[in-house]
Structure formats: structure tokens, C-alpha cells
Amino acid sequence: MSSMRFIAEEALSQLMYWGSDVEEAISETEDASEPEDNVIDDCQFSHDDEDSEDESASVPSSNENQETQKLPSTEGTLTSKDGQIKWSTSPHQSQARLSSSYVLKMTPGPTRFALTRVDDIESAFQLFISPPIEKIILDMTNLEGRHVFQEKWKPLDPSDLHAYIGILVLAGVYRSKGEATASLWNEEYGRPIFRATMSLETFHRISRVIRFDNRDTRAGRCEKDKLAAIRDVWDKWVKILPLLYNPGPHVTVGESLIPFRGCCPFRQHVSNKPAKYGIKIWAACDAKSSYAWNMQVYTGKPLQGPPEKNQGMRVVLEMTEGLQGHNITCDNFFTSYRLGVELQKRKLTMLGTVRKNKPELPSEILKMQGRPLHSSKFTFTENTTLVSYCPKRNKNILVMSTMHKDASLSTREDMMPQMIL
């Protein structure tokens, strides 16, 4: 245990100036002076639909034009259901390759801030559980420990906290969800590393009192913030995420339901999710590595005031704040014409499925009667492409994109549009 304390103290001393390092990292992640070889033109990429997060299918480059075909041009104008948008059945002449401002100016992968501070597993761990976060957990847990166990409480130190978190991580690695802790520590059937790290009694004791805020002042804070119990730690942790990794050209924004059936004022019920009940988190993730670049806990309807409007657009704009040159892929809860326009102001493109009840859609593109199987209908505005694809009888898939500019189809048997692949 003494050697563990020495390592923890040494690591803490190396990271004493974390605050100044973070300021340096912000300038590093915003630095656009990378070598030209590392600059990636986002226009060369496409993205999958909302049910996939890999980049195996991309928009063909000029060398692959022989594998695509385009629908014949037919002139015509369609009006959206709300009468606000004029859609054309042919691409606008102004639609061309995106300007040079839509260029990815950050090198995808770990940032320089992370690379220069990681030597081993422990140093990588300390980047995510930073000294300020560690201090809050230790202070609040020891405060609760003294309150519950009084003089019997042995103060928790950094080594103890690292060991406790390590056990939780290992339990996840071993897929031990739902397994009794007594089974994990069992001498005959358990795993030796759990018993070697700490006793089962110590683990239960820490689990009983671990805290992320001062319980005595929580009631007042909960009146304005349902996430008050972990707000300080959560906000500090989320601010660290973009400092450590730069996402690639494709970023997905969506929701994740963390399974949970305990008592929580913002527990959600989502019937189409496997877990059904849990805590909903909005997340912006790199499509290739699945790294969570930004996250936000959904705490339910506002405690005061009217229900939130345009929540989907608000979430995407907040989750992608600070990005430029990326394509944002989202599902039909988020996708809208207005969102595409707002993202373009930030030099971001959008690709996503669309709900059929959106007022910006023309009625003609929703009609399925008499539609041939595997047929596609394209409509365009100056900055947006909309396609209706019929994969099977009376099935209509609507996809909206501000990255794709024409009516290209694949040469597959189902003639699926390139922007859906």
C-alpha cells in the first residue's frame, strides 16, 4: 500500500498545474496550423444511416463514378407543407462542391495534450479522473464516511480511490453485471485480483459512503438542478473529453439509455430500448472510434416554465459546439431543415433520416401509391438534398442531407441512393 501511495502522490505532483494545462490544451485543439498532409476534406466522405456508426460506405470519389448512376433531370417545383420552402426536382445550379471552409482542421485521434501526458495506464487514467475531480470525490466521501461511521472511518486516500474505481472497471470487463459481490470475492469461484485489491468489507464500506457532493447542502441545489448530486464532477469530466481526442470527419449525435431501475427523479422509460428504463444521455461520438466527444444528461422536463420546444435542434447544436468541417449524422428525432441551415452557418454538414410529419417536406414526396419498388424521388433546395426511397412496398425512407448535392444512385440491385449507403 505504501508503494501505491507514493505513485499516487508522484502523479499528483506532476499534475499540480492541471488548470494551466487545460488552457494550453484548448489552444492546441483549436490550432489550425497542422501540416497540410493532415488536413481532411470532409466533402470526400459520406456516412451511414442512423442505425450504424461505421464509415465502411462513403460517397464515391471521382475515380468511382463508373459505379454510380444519376436520375434523369426533370424540371419542377414543389412546395413544403407549411408553404415556406420551395423544393426543386432538379439540383440547383449553385449546388457544387462545398467550399474550402468545410475542411477538417484538426487531426483525428488523440490530441497533443493527451499524447504528451500519457506514459502508461496510470497516467492515462489520471487524464480522465483529473486531480480536481479526484479531490471532490475524496473530500465528499470522507465527509460522508465520518458522518456514517464516525471514529471507525478510515480516511480514503488516492490509492484507495484508484483501487475502488479499478475494481468497478474490471467488473465491467468481466461482464459481471448482476453478479453478487460475494461471488466475485469467493475464494473458490471468484477472481483473485478482487481479493488482492481490497477486502469485500472494505468495498462495501466505500460503496456505502461514496459521494460527489455535500449531502447537507444538496436539497437547496436540487430545487434548481436535478443533477445536483453529481453536477460538479460531471461538468468537470465532460470538459475534459474534447481535450483528449479529436473526432474524425464523421460525428454522430444520438441518445444512449444507461440501464437503471433505481430511484431517480429523471429516470426515463423508452419502450424501444432493450433496457426499457434508465438514464438518458445525449452524446456526440466519433463515428469511427465511438469516442464520446461530448455528453449531456437528460434530466426530464424543466422544473419551471413551459415544455422545451425544438429540443432536437438544441441538443445537436450544443453537442457539436466547437466543431468545424465535420459531417453530423443523426436520427429522425433531430433532423430538420432548420437544423441543416444552422449547422451550415458553423461550417458543418448534416445527414439524417426525417420524420414524415415534418412541415418542411413537400406532400408529393410522401405519396407511395403506385411507387415502383426500389424507386427514389429526389428534391433539392439551394443547400439541401432530400430523398424518398422505397425499399419495399408502401415503405418510405426519407433522408435529408446538406452534404450530398445530386441524385446519385448505387449500381446495386436495390438501386439504393448513395446518400443512404
Q: Is 337 a residue whose pLDDT tops 90?
A: yes
**Cβ contacts of 76 within 8 Å, gap of 6 or more:** 88, 89, 90
Q: Taking residues 377-384, report their average pLDDT.
A: 93
Q: Beta-strand (E) ranges in 260-309?
A: 268-269, 277-286, 292-297
> What pLDDT is recorded for position 308?
84
Pairs from 47-50 (Cβ < 8 Å, separation ≥ 24): 47/250, 47/252, 47/287, 47/327, 47/329, 47/351, 48/287, 48/329, 48/421, 49/329, 49/353, 49/399, 49/420, 50/254, 50/329, 50/330, 50/331, 50/332, 50/352, 50/353
**Cβ contacts of 305 within 8 Å, gap of 6 or more:** none
Q: Which of 57-61, 89-93, 132-136, 187-191 has the lowest mean pLDDT?
A: 57-61
pLDDT category of residue 267 using cuts at 50, 70 and 90: very high
Calculate the alpha carbon distances from 350 to 43, 270, 355 in Å.
12, 26, 15
Q: Could you write out the DSSP letters of every residue in 74-93?
A: ---EEEBTTS--EEESS--T
Report d(CA 363, CA 386) in Å as an integer.
Answer: 13
Report d(CA 34, CA 41) in Å as an integer.
Answer: 14
* Contact present, 379 and 74 (Cβ < 8 Å): no
> What pLDDT is recorded for position 75?
57
> What pLDDT is recorded for position 41?
36
Mean pLDDT of the chain: 83
> What pLDDT is recorded for position 95?
57
Q: Taking residues 130-144, report their average pLDDT.
A: 96
- pLDDT tens digits, one per residue of 51-88: 333 333 333 333 334 344 544 444 588 999 999 999 99
- pLDDT tens digits, one per residue of 207-258: 999 999 999 999 999 988 999 999 999 999 999 999 999 999 999 999 999 9
DSSP state of 362: B
Bigger pLDDT: 18 or 343? 343
* Contact present, 114 and 244 (Cβ < 8 Å): yes
pLDDT category of residue 153 using cuts at 50, 70 and 90: very high
Q: Is 40 a residue whose pLDDT tops 50?
A: no
> What pLDDT is recorded for position 135?
97
Q: Taking residues 356-375, report their average pLDDT.
A: 92
Other residues' Cβ atoms within 10 Å of the Cβ of residue 13: 9
% pLDDT > 70, the chain = 80
Q: Tell whether the torsion through CA atoms of 308, 309, 315 and 321 is positive or negative.
A: negative
- pLDDT tens digits, one per residue of 157-214: 999 999 999 999 999 999 988 899 999 999 999 999 999 999 999 999 999 999 999 9
